């Protein structure tokens, strides 16, 4: 194949290329117009004045406000990612069990926590813990538990889909040489499935990182909280600059993780160590599959 042809589309002809170039130019002009409108409106409100941006050139602003907020965000994201991966591994493998008394309850847990909005989970934990454990600061715990339950349920489906993506002949060959089910899972299926599902796992961790911003609702001290609640009162008129700076930091973090996911996807496509195709997030939306059979 050449000339831009793919498995799904033919190479565009001269008229199609011209049309694509015109649409690209129109879209670019529209984006520039929107950017100019936003810039001019901000300028009319005095949001580009040097004095309201000056605090962000001070090292103290970063060390006292932005860096502590970034640490709070990364702490919640790191803990949530670790616990979500553990949760996902346990319940994802449980959903592959041949035993109904394991597979069905695990499926119920995963489907329930996938269906509940993350913000509702955070609220539930935040207001439940004081009733059970007494007074205290449970903001971090509420955010981490919410992230764990919701994202862990999605990761459980990714792991299940990754194992099921390995061709059935792999497990049948393993059983033929005398391996038991546990050996087939850990020695044959999982090593290949990890290659296939790694891009989707990293993509879900990008979602998890962005979801930490929901801690703002319960006053968890993170990057968003510092940007919108703590910095503006200390530097009057700096709300918009703070929002822009915080937004750029979030974009940078997510772009790094997204770049990692893209690299892993390309690497998994080139890898010859796995017979399974890469798993996308859309793959996990289907109905639950059967357990790993014994051939």
Cα atoms found within 13 Å of the Cα of residue 254, Cβ hemisphere only: 15
**Comparing 145 with 271, which gets the higher pLDDT?**
145
Residue 287 reports pLDDT greater than 50: no
Percent helix, strand, coil in the chain (nearest 5)?
A: 80, 0, 20
Residue 215 reports pLDDT greater than 60: yes
**Comparing 223 with 9, which gets the higher pLDDT?**
223
Identify the CA nearest to 210 among candidates 198, 219, 200, 222.
222
DSSP 3-state assignment of 49?
coil
Residue 106 reports pLDDT greater than 60: yes
Confidence of residue 289 (pLDDT cuts 50, 70, 90): very low
CATH class of this structure's domain 50-285 = mainly alpha
Domain boundaries in the chain? 13-45, 50-285
**Per this entry, what is the length of the chain?**
295
Q: In whole numbers, what is the pLDDT of the chain averaged over residues?
A: 81
pLDDT of the residue at 227:
84
């Amino acid at each position: 194949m050449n000339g831009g042809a793919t498995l799904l589309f033919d190479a565009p002809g001269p008229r199609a290329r011209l049309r694509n170039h015109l649409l690209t130019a129109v879209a670019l002009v529209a984006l520039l117009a929107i950017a100019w409108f936003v810039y001019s409106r901000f300028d009319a409100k005095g949001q580009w004045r040097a004095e309201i941006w000056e605090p962000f050139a001070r090292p103290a602003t970063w060390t006292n406000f932005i860096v502590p907020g970034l640490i709070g965000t990364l702490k919640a994201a790191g803990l949530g990612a670790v616990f979500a991966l553990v949760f996902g591994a346990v319940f994802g493998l449980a959903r592959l069990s041949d035993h109904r008394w394991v597979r069905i309850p695990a499926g119920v847990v995963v489907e329930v926590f996938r269906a509940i909005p993350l913000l509702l989970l955070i609220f539930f934990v935040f207001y439940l813990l004081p009733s059970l454990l007494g007074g205290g600061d449970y903001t971090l715990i509420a955010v981490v538990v919410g992230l764990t339950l919701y994202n862990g349920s999605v990761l459980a489906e990714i792991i299940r889909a990754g194992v099921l993506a390995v061709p059935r002949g792999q497990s049948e060959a393993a059983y033929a040489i005398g391996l038991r089910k546990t050996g087939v899972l850990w020695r044959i299926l999982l090593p290949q499935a990890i290659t296939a599902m790694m891009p989707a796992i990293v993509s879900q961790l990008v979602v998890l990182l962005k979801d930490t911003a929901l801690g703002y609702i319960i006053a968890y001290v993170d990057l968003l909280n510092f940007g919108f609640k703590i910095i503006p009162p200390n530097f009057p008129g700096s709300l918009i600059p703070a929002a822009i700076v915080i937004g750029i930091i979030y974009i940078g973090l997510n772009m790094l993780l997204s770049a990692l996911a893209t690299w892993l996807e390309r690497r998994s496509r080139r890898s010859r160590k796995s017979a399974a195709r890469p798993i996308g997030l859309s793959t996990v939306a289907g109905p639950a599959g059967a357990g790993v059979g014994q051939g």
